[in-house]
Amino acid sequence: MPPGATAATSHAQAARDGTPWIGAGWTARGKKDRMPKHYVISVMARDRVGIIADVTMAIQGLQGNLADMSQTVLRGYFTMILIASFPDGVRPEDVRAALQTAAGTDHFEIGVAAPEQELPAETPTPRDNLYVLTAVGPDRIGLVAAVSGYLREKSINIADLSTRVESGTYTMMLLLELPPGTDVARLKRGLQVALEDVALSVEVRHHAIFRMTNEI
């Protein structure tokens, strides 16, 4: 930009001269830079060695950038959900095709969703508000529904959840985001009363105390 010229005058001069203007948000081709596209991607398949490498390399091949990812294996089935950003022009069908190619002779169940609104920046919950709820009892239908239903009534968000059945005993562990000012002792008593019919014993502990007592 010439000395003393403003962005507006430089842009106008470029338009008169027929030359592309290079400034904030504009490329050397005279086109405004486009924001990357974000997709939420899920993958499910029979577990085998190398699935994570296959998925992430397929995304890399499309110039995709991984943001967040969660993965687990349940009874021989691999499940993954991730968020990735791609250059403008990469379509959901391009992502699906790349992942199916990476699957080889296996079959991947793939979901690709484009959020209707821009994804919010990650805002970690204050550590003081994170609590671990453990519930243990005889295995039966509806245990997770009973616990999650009670928490919903109390406007308590479940940030993470894992369950296991062993020798007829059902164990679930939930990471809870408690609203500020929650009376934890009262919450525990309420859970004990609400879950009495399904014979679940519950414990609620701050995540820091839980980690200290469960890490060796």
Span 156-165, mean pLDDT? 92
Span 29-45, mean pLDDT? 77
Pick the CATH number of 127-214 from 3.30.70.260, 2.60.120.1130, 1.10.10.60, 3.30.365.10: 3.30.70.260
d(CA 48, CA 35): 36
Pick the CATH number of 37-113 from 1.10.3080.10, 3.30.70.260, 3.30.70.20, 3.55.50.30: 3.30.70.260
Span 183-192, mean pLDDT? 95
Per the listing, tokens 């993470």 go with 160
d(CA 134, CA 129): 16
Say yes or no to pLDDT of 117 above 80: no
Output the average pLDDT for the chain: 83
Mean pLDDT check: name the lowest of 20-29, 100-109, 151-160, 171-180: 20-29
Instruction: State residue 216's pLDDT score.
Output: 42
Domain map (residue ranges) of the chain: 37-113, 127-214
Residue, of 35 and 215, whose pLDDT is higher:
35
User: Among candidates 98, 100, 84, 104, which has minimal Cα distance to 40?
Assistant: 84
Span 164-193, mean pLDDT? 94
> Are 37-113 and 127-214 the same fold in CATH?
yes
Instruction: State residue 203's pLDDT score.
Output: 94
Mean pLDDT check: name the lowest of 39-43, 119-123, 134-138: 119-123
Tokens of 117: 């609104």
User: Among candidates 35, 42, 24, which has minimal Cα distance to 118?
Assistant: 35
Tokens of 192: 């004990």
Span 59-88, mean pLDDT? 93
Q: Is 42 helix (H, G, I), strand (E, B) or coil?
A: strand
Task: Strand 77-86: give its sheet, edge to edge.
Answer: 65-74, 77-86, 37-46, 109-113
